[in-house]
Chain A
Amino acid sequence: MNQVKRLISRNAVPLLFGIVCLLGVYFAKMPGQFLLMEIVKRMARNSFLVLSLIIPVAAGMGLNFGIVLGALAGQIALILSTHWEWAGIGGLLLTALLATPLAVLFGFLAGMLLNKAKGREMITGMVMGFFANGLYQFVFLFLVGTVIPFDNPRLRISTSPGLRNTIDLSRIKGTLDGIWEVRYGFTKFPMVTFLVIAVLALAIWAFFRTKLGQEFRAVGQDRHIAGVSGINVDRNRILAIVISTVLAAWGQLIFLQNIGTLNTYNSHEQVGTFAIAALLIGGATVTKATIGQALMGTFLFHLLFAVSPNAGQTIFGSAQVGEYFRVFVAYGIIAISLALHAWQSKSLARASLEEDLSS
Chain B
Amino acid sequence: MKKRLCILLALVLVFGLVGAAQAASLPFKIGLITGTVSQGEEEYQAAVKMAARYPDSIIHVTYPDNFMQEQETVIGQIVQFAMDPQIKAIVVCQAVPGSTAAFSTVRDMRDDIVIIAGVPHEDPAVVAPYVDLAMETDQLRRGASIAQLAAEMGAKKILHYSFPRHMSMELLAVRYQNMKDEAAKLGLEVIDVTAPDPMGDAGIPGTQQFILEDIPRQAEIHGTDIAFFGTNCSMMEPAIRASLDAGIIFPEQCCPSPFHGYPGALGIEIDEEHKGDVPYILDQIKAKVAEMGRSGRMATWVAPINMVFVEAGVELAIKAIQEGLDLGDVAAVEEAVFDSTGVKLSMNRYLDDANFYLVIADSIIF
Complex Cα–Cα for A168 and B103 (A): 13
Total contacting residues, chain A, CB less than 8 A: 42
Complex Cα–Cα for A126 and B127 (A): 32
Residue of B nearest to A313 (CB): B61
A323 B64 Cβ-Cβ under 8 A: yes
Binary A-proximity of B272-283 (CB < 8 A = 1, otherwise 0): 000000000000
Choose among A38, A168, A269, A319 the residue that contacts B69 (Cβ–Cβ < 8 A). A269
Q: Does B250 contact A (CB under 8 A)?
A: no
Complex Cα–Cα for A319 and B36 (A): 8
A319 B80 Cβ-Cβ under 8 A: no
In residues 62-76 of chain B, which contact A (Cβ within 8 Å)?
Answer: 62-66, 68-73, 75-76
Choose among B63, B71, B72 the residue that contacts A263 (Cβ–Cβ < 8 A). B71
Determine the chain A residues whose CB is within 8 A of the CB of B77 once the complex forms.
Answer: 309
Q: State how many angstroms separate the Cβ of B100 from the closest Cβ of chain A.
A: 5
Residue of B nearest to A162 (CB): B170
Determine the chain A residues whose CB is within 8 A of the CB of B292 once the complex forms.
Answer: none
A327 B64 Cβ-Cβ under 8 A: yes
21 A-B contacts, Cβ less than 8 Å apart?
A38-B80, A157-B170, A159-B170, A164-B125, A165-B122, A166-B126, A167-B126, A168-B125, A261-B101, A261-B126, A266-B68, A269-B69, A270-B70, A309-B62, A310-B61, A310-B80, A313-B61, A319-B34, A320-B36, A320-B44, A320-B62
In residues 1-54 of chain A, which contact B (Cβ within 8 Å)?
Answer: 30-31, 33-34, 37-38, 42, 45
Q: State how many angstroms separate the Cβ of B148 from the closest Cβ of chain A.
A: 24
Total contacting residues, chain B, CB less than 8 A: 39
Residue of B nearest to A38 (CB): B76
Choose among A30, A261, A310, A326 the residue that contacts B122 (Cβ–Cβ < 8 A). A261
Give how many A-B residue pairs fall within 8 Å (CB-CB): 103
Q: State how many angstroms separate the Cβ of A225 from the closest Cβ of chain B.
A: 40
Q: Does B37 contact A (CB under 8 A)?
A: yes
Complex Cα–Cα for A274 and B71 (A): 12
Q: State how many angstroms separate the Cβ of B107 from the closest Cβ of chain A.
A: 11
Determine the chain B residues whose CB is within 8 A of the CB of A86 once the complex forms.
Answer: none
Q: Does B109 contact A (CB under 8 A)?
A: yes
Residue of B nearest to A167 (CB): B126
Choose among B62, B68, B76, B126 the residue that contacts A323 (Cβ–Cβ < 8 A). B62
Complex Cα–Cα for A261 and B36 (A): 25
